[in-house]
Amino acid sequence: MVIGRAAGLTDTGRRRRQNEDAFVCDPPLFAIADGMGGAQAGELASRLAAAAIEEAASAVSDEQGVAGVVRAANALIFERSLHDPTVAGMGTTATVALVDERAGVLTLAHVGDSRAYRYRAGDLEQLTTDHSLVAELVRSGRLTEAEAAVHPHRSVITRALGTEADVEVDTHTVDVAPGDLLLLCSDGLSAMVRDEEIARVIEASGLDPHGAAEALVRAANEHGGDDNVTVVVFELVEGEPAERERARAASPDGDIGASDPDAVTSEAALDDVSRHGAGKGGRWPALLLVLALLAVAAFAIWWSLVR
């Protein structure tokens, strides 16, 4: 089993002026981050998270490693908010998926109300648990699913990166198989489009990640587009992992299919889409920002010691 085609897509939506989402589409690692905090704060938080996650992509291989990357992103965002009052209180969700092609498993690390889904043989299964007020009320039996969908506080989340020094990260590993399609999305999709319709849209796309990504973003906007909407879609196909590893090693920049229009499309300039990914093209500015923030933090610590 290997990862086949993959697509990452984001859109500002119809009601927001800024896009505070970010994504990573860098096989075998994929991630979604949905920032909060207003103005530039939410956008900064999500970009910091995406950059930190992507930078560590080659070094993680299991649940502990993926959770550690998410905790490191949390520390980075929290440290920045401590030293910059203009972004105090900023935070972001994070849903990270790592595929082990040899073992045939998908490892997830998750904080917030972004989601991961697995589409298999016509069935769509949510793989993550929402850390939100309404989700907790539903789990406790105090709200029905229908009531939660229209609750005035349905956007309130109970767990996020960057708001506290430490964060609890949900992790688990699930089996995956050739023919599966995996979807990561911000609540700009899941809050606007019900799971049943998401499944129909994926099926209508012919299980093409590119077509599915475009159609899902379009569906969210057709249902009102109240929030930024971001999706990452990738397929699993028959194949030998060794072939992918050799192809990656032979590629100058480490990516497969750089000239193939069916390769990873987090770089693609798709119609009517505002891209906020942290992939190639946006990676180095984000990483330089991370390094600059670390330097500022180090200087602040040094100055507090010598005063």
Confidence category of residue 303, pLDDT binned at 50, 70, 90: low
Q: What is the pLDDT of residues 33-54, one digit of tens each?
A: 999 876 568 999 999 999 999 9
> Does 265 have pLDDT greater than 50?
no
Confidence category of residue 232, pLDDT binned at 50, 70, 90: very high
Please, what is the angle between helix 195-204 and helix 209-222, to 10°? 140
Between these two residues, 60 and 153, which has the higher pLDDT value?
60
Q: Is the dihedral of CA 195, 187, 24, 261 positive or negative?
A: positive
Confidence category of residue 273, pLDDT binned at 50, 70, 90: very low
Cα–Cα distance list, 95 to 24, 154, 187, 269 (Å): 10, 19, 11, 24
Q: What is the mean pLDDT of residues 204-213?
A: 97
Q: What is the pLDDT of residues 50-108, one digit of tens each?
A: 999 998 877 888 899 999 999 999 999 999 999 998 898 899 999 999 999 999 999 99
Q: What is the mean pLDDT of residues 131-155?
A: 64
Please list the alpha-helical segments (H only) found in 84-163.
Answer: 133-139, 145-149
Between these two residues, 190 and 243, which has the higher pLDDT value?
190
Cα–Cα distance list, 292 to 32, 81, 97, 161, 295 (Å): 23, 14, 27, 20, 5
Q: Is the dihedral of CA 34, 36, 42, 47 positive or negative?
A: negative
Copy the structure tokens of residue 207. 């299980």
Between these two residues, 212 and 191, which has the higher pLDDT value?
212
Q: Which residue has the tokens 């699913």?
A: 145
Confidence category of residue 221, pLDDT binned at 50, 70, 90: very high
> Does 155 have pLDDT greater than 80?
no
> Does 293 have pLDDT greater than 90?
no
> Does 189 have pLDDT greater than 50?
yes
Q: Is 7 in contact with 209 (CB distance < 8 Å)?
A: yes
Position 31, amino acid: A
Position 99, amino acid: V
